[in-house]
Amino acid sequence: MVYTFQEDCILVLVSRVSSLNALDPGTGLRGQLIFSPGSFVLTGLVEAAALPYLGINIEELSLDEKAGILFLDQSITTAVVLGVIYNITNTFQPLPEDVFRYDLREPFNLQKGWLLWAGIGLFGAILGIALAGFTMSALNGETPQRETDALVKLLPLIGSSSVSTAYLVGITGVLAPLLEETVFRGFFMVSLTKWVPTPVSVLISAAVFALAHLTPGEFPQLFVLGIALGLSYAQTRNLLTPITIHAFWNSGVILILTFLQLQGYDLKEVLQAT
């Protein structure tokens, strides 16, 4: 997995993201899950620049309208970030055949089947995350507070209506997995193999993935999830594998919380208990 164009690619991307991070993202509706530092800089810039000119007052919007803005916002962010990455890599032709590979063929192939290994990866991720959570609880003796967790900020939208739920599933189950897996596994992890072996690149990309969510209390669980995503991609060389795992994980959380909300549970208490 050593590609001659990757070294120059990652240096160009890092320089561009660094210049973006120097900007002030401003204020706005930033309650969605944190996907990546560069993503949120762009998201904040879009909100801060566009909403005042459109005459939109966030405080006056309904929950469905807020969810719709989140979906549009994340759609723009996803398109911009992926566009930047694709433009950078396309300057280094010819590209290896398995770079940014989204291949629906042979989903159950024992060696490279994307759906088969997505199922294996998801099962492994669930077990690993449960073990990490249990270990952290045993070591700390108490569950850390989650007031700053991005998921907590989403609670007003979860279960508020079928429209809001559909928007949230679209954000967390489609846009976020597509963006994050293309960036962290398809670009960053592959780029690291220019300098380090694949297992090391899996660990480094998983650590950066966990740090990018800006929730220190959940770093172990996110790190484990990142490892599962990285290993699944290393096995199949197909981005559909980690995207599928990520999509089922994110949308599953939203749908479970929606069900609990409809059953009358206090979601803040549920999240704190987990």
Confidence band, pLDDT 50/70/90 cuts, at residue 92 = confident
Q: Would you state the pLDDT for residue 149?
A: 61
In a domain, 107, yes or no: no
In a domain, 1, yes or no: no
d(CA 204, CA 241): 19
In a domain, 109, yes or no: no
pLDDT average, residue stretch 121-149? 79
d(CA 1, CA 60): 51
d(CA 235, CA 127): 19
- Cα 98 to Cα 103, 161, 185, 188, 240, distances in angstroms: 9, 41, 12, 14, 12
d(CA 105, CA 241): 12
pLDDT average, residue stretch 110-123? 97
Q: Is the pLDDT of residue 23 over 80?
A: no
| Parent domain of 232 | 6-96+114-273
pLDDT average, residue stretch 56-70? 83
Window from 42-56, 64-78, 102-116, 212-226 with minimum mean pLDDT: 42-56
Q: Is the pLDDT of residue 102 over 70?
A: yes
pTM of the model: 0.80
In a domain, 105, yes or no: no
Q: Which two tokens stand for residue 57?
A: 């007052």
In a domain, 254, yes or no: yes
Determine the Cα angle at 108 with ends 105 and 110, to 5°. 115
Q: Would you state the pLDDT for residue 159?
A: 82
Q: DSSP class of residue 95?
A: P
In a domain, 130, yes or no: yes
Q: Would you state the pLDDT for residue 54?
A: 72
Q: Is the pLDDT of residue 70 over 60?
A: yes
In a domain, 103, yes or no: no
pLDDT average, residue stretch 72-76? 89
Confidence band, pLDDT 50/70/90 cuts, at residue 263 = confident
DSSP secondary structure letters along 173-204: IIIHHHHHHIIIIIIIIHHHTTTS-HHHHHHH
If one counts the domains in the chain, the total is 1
Q: Is the pLDDT of residue 254 over 50?
A: yes
Pick the closest to residue 187 from 44, 81, 79 (CA basis): 81
Q: Which two tokens stand for residue 12?
A: 């160009």
Pick the closest to residue 257 from 159, 156, 153, 129 (CA basis): 159
In a domain, 255, yes or no: yes
Confidence band, pLDDT 50/70/90 cuts, at residue 47 = low
Q: Is the pLDDT of residue 179 over 90?
A: yes
